Amino acid sequence: MAGQHAEMDQVIEKLTDLLGKRCTTAEAVREQHGHDESWHFPAAPDAVCFARSTEEVSEIVKVCALHKVPIIPFGAGTSLEGHVNAVHGGISVDLNEMNEILRVSPEDLDCTVQPGVRRKQLNEYLRDTGLFFPIDPGADASIGGMASTRASGTNAVRYGTMRENILCMTVVLPDGRIISTGHRSKKSAAGYDLTKLYIGAEGTLGIITEVTLKLYGIPEAISAATVCFPDIEGAIQAVILTIQTGIPVARIELLDEVQVDAINRYSNLDLAVKPTLFLEFHGSEAYVKEQAEQVSDICSEFGAQGFAWTTQVEERTKLWQARHDAAYAAIALRNGAQIWATDVCVPISRLADCILETKKDLEGSFLIAPLVGHVGDGNFHLSFVIKKEIPEELAEAERLNGRLIDRALAMDGTCTGEHGIGLGKKKYMYREHGEAVDVMATLKHALDPDNIMNPGKIIPDQAAE
């Protein structure tokens, strides 16, 4: 929380000398930078700095390092586990003014961007080149934030996550040094993989100031489909068989009946209120048709009705916008409510067990929790619709979340497939990783001995001591 550091006034004075009005202590700006889109209670930083270059980020970090003041990198603020909350006060470094696309190489299928570039901005820029960047978290997140949370989305089943799609990055270290984590070559066996170390580090090891991304050709044909099932087990079994058959679906998303009802109301759709799959296929006209027919046959085996597919851009866009708005549709189910969003991921062979046990658990609860998931990867989400000022509701969400995570871990899964750890999942780190957490704490200490980079995130308190 703000006001915890004796030398803060000096730090703010130095940063104001460096940045002028781009270092601000205005309450509204501090408040906006003290929370993400999660239920976690906000904690405002002491000041917010708007950086414009790697060199400027380095200078900001050097000032903070000298005075041992926390630094919290800030992208679009759409994370879901309290990632940007300034729980120990400090300086929020907002990267939104670093939003240039620096270079696109169609011949190498890659590009380099500043961290404040938003995913939709990048794809609009790329459209005329015939290329696109596939990673699509529901929100219009920044590339720096997506790299730092190891984000993914609906396309990951075909194109992978941020982990598979970053070639190298420029990073400002906790002491202000600037490094490049690698080069643009597709492969490298040269030393430790620092690129991967920084993907998913949630700003705890440094600030990313440039990212080199892989790009893909826009497919010749794209078709989308919806199909509903009499029960959720049929829908999941159809997903498992589709993946095991090796059909290269570009998207395969499950929505349970509660989530379908929510998006019908929110996005003005009229889908049958039943467990439903949203699918997308990429390829040539003929190949897209072939994939859709194969998946339609599989779905029929599991009792599906009404496999409807389209290549119309408007219909596809409406469908996927509704899917991306699923969280807002969940919030709209109850006046004045918020959501506690959580996600787990399990091996695909355990997906049915994990979802069915979870649905059973939810039946015994007084909370509503729509289920939606990137099920082709074994990843699904719950949105507990809560009023966080009601302690019984928070406690119930906490209980159900804990049981969900235990279930996923018992199935050789993970406590988060894509949202990350932040504040909310720190307590599950030992359960998932055991002694490996101590190795993470050792790495953190080696790179950031004064614990100034986004302190209080990822590493559980007992390991950080």
Using the 8-state DSSP alphabet, how is residue 322 labeled?
H
The one among 24, 58, 96, 142 contacting ligand FAD by CB under 6 A: 142
CB of 189 to ligand FAD, least distance (A): 26
Q: Which stretch binds ligand FAD (CB under 6 A): 79-87, 240-248, 282-290, 434-442?
A: 79-87
Q: Which stretch binds ligand FAD (CB under 6 A): 24-32, 146-154, 188-196, 388-396?
A: 146-154
How many residues touch ligand FAD under the rule CB under 6 A: the total is 37
Q: Which position's Cβ is nearest ligand FAD? A: 145
418 is a contact residue toward ligand FAD (CB under 6 A): yes
Q: Which stretch binds ligand FAD (CB under 6 A): 10-18, 136-144, 332-340, 391-399?
A: 136-144
Nearest residue (CB) to ligand FAD, 72 versus 371? 72
Nearest residue (CB) to ligand FAD, 223 versus 338? 338
* 344 contact partners, CB below 8 Å, separation of at least 6: 354, 379, 380, 404, 405, 407, 408, 413, 414, 415, 416, 417
Nearest residue (CB) to ligand FAD, 14 versus 374? 374
The one among 145, 176, 275, 413 contacting ligand FAD by CB under 6 A: 145
The one among 34, 89, 144, 182 contacting ligand FAD by CB under 6 A: 144
424 is a contact residue toward ligand FAD (CB under 6 A): no
Residues 18-47, one symbol each (x = binds ligand FAD by CB under 6 A, - = not), give ------------------xx----------
CB 239 within 8 A of CB 206: no
Nearest residue (CB) to ligand FAD, 302 versus 428? 428
CB of 262 to ligand FAD, least distance (A): 13
Distance of CA 444 to the CA centre of its chain: 22
Nearest residue (CB) to ligand FAD, 282 versus 457? 457
Using the 8-state DSSP alphabet, how is residue 41 labeled?
P
Collapsing DSSP to helix, strand or coil, 74 comes out as strand
- Of residues 149 through 188, those in contact with ligand FAD by CB under 6 A are 149, 151-153
According to DSSP, the β-strands at 379-386 and 338-345 are antiparallel
CB of 455 to ligand FAD, least distance (A): 11
454 is a contact residue toward ligand FAD (CB under 6 A): yes
CB 370 within 8 A of CB 256: yes
The one among 141, 238, 250, 411 contacting ligand FAD by CB under 6 A: 141
The one among 419, 425, 426, 444 contacting ligand FAD by CB under 6 A: 419
Residues 93-132, one symbol each (x = binds ligand FAD by CB under 6 A, - = not), give --x-------------------x-----------------
Nearest residue (CB) to ligand FAD, 171 versus 295? 171
Q: Which two tokens stand for residue 52?
A: 């414009």
Nearest residue (CB) to ligand FAD, 81 versus 393? 81
Nearest residue (CB) to ligand FAD, 216 versus 320? 320
421 is a contact residue toward ligand FAD (CB under 6 A): no
203 is a contact residue toward ligand FAD (CB under 6 A): yes
CB of 263 to ligand FAD, least distance (A): 12
Kindly compute the dihedral angle of the four CA atoms of residues 111, 115, 118, 119, in this order, to the nearest 10 degrees. 50
Nearest residue (CB) to ligand FAD, 224 versus 329? 329
Interaction site with ligand FAD (CB under 6 A): 36-37, 72-80, 83-84, 95, 115, 137-139, 141-142, 144-146, 148-149, 151-153, 202-203, 207-208, 327, 418-419, 454, 457
